[in-house]
Amino acid sequence: MPSKPSKSLESFPNPSPRRDYLIRMQIPEFTCLCPKTGQPDFATLFLDYVPDRKCVELKSLKLYIWSYRNEGAFHEAVTNRICDDLVKLLAPRFLRLAARFYVRGGIFTSVVAEHRKKGWKPAPGLELEPIDERQSTR
């Protein structure tokens, strides 16, 4: 049976909850619709997180991201909504979501939303480099 878009995110237990480690994802096929024109907006999402007790299950993340394809959303709103949904599911030690939208009307837009668990500090050697220092594949 073919997969369908879904707002249902799933998680699984962190296999190494005692260790701070960074999970880094690049999601190059995000699309939503401009709420003003109805035209498609395309973005690459960069997701970095340090899990606490849970990790996001990748197929559910793929279907969740796909669920925005036919929704109208401002860049700022959709980036923060995805960040909030992931934080609600995972309660991570750290999570950063950066959305780099492709040019629209001569303007590139990037939106970065971040969460840190209260009182958490990265373990020595764990680099949480800013998104701007990372390379995009586009």
Tell me whether residue 41 is one of the annotated catalytic residues: yes
Are 130 and 95 in contact, with CB atoms under 8 Å apart? no
The one catalytic residue in 34, 52, 84, 85 is: 34
Residue type (1 letter), 43 = A
Number of H helices, E strands in the chain: 2, 6
Tell me whether residue 83 is one of the annotated catalytic residues: no
What spatial distance separates the first Cα and last Cα of the chain, rounded to whole Å? 32
The one catalytic residue in 20, 32, 41, 55 is: 41
Would you call 124 helix, strand, or coil by DSSP?
coil
E strand segments, 2-72: 11-13, 23-33, 40-50, 54-56
Catalytic residues: 34, 41
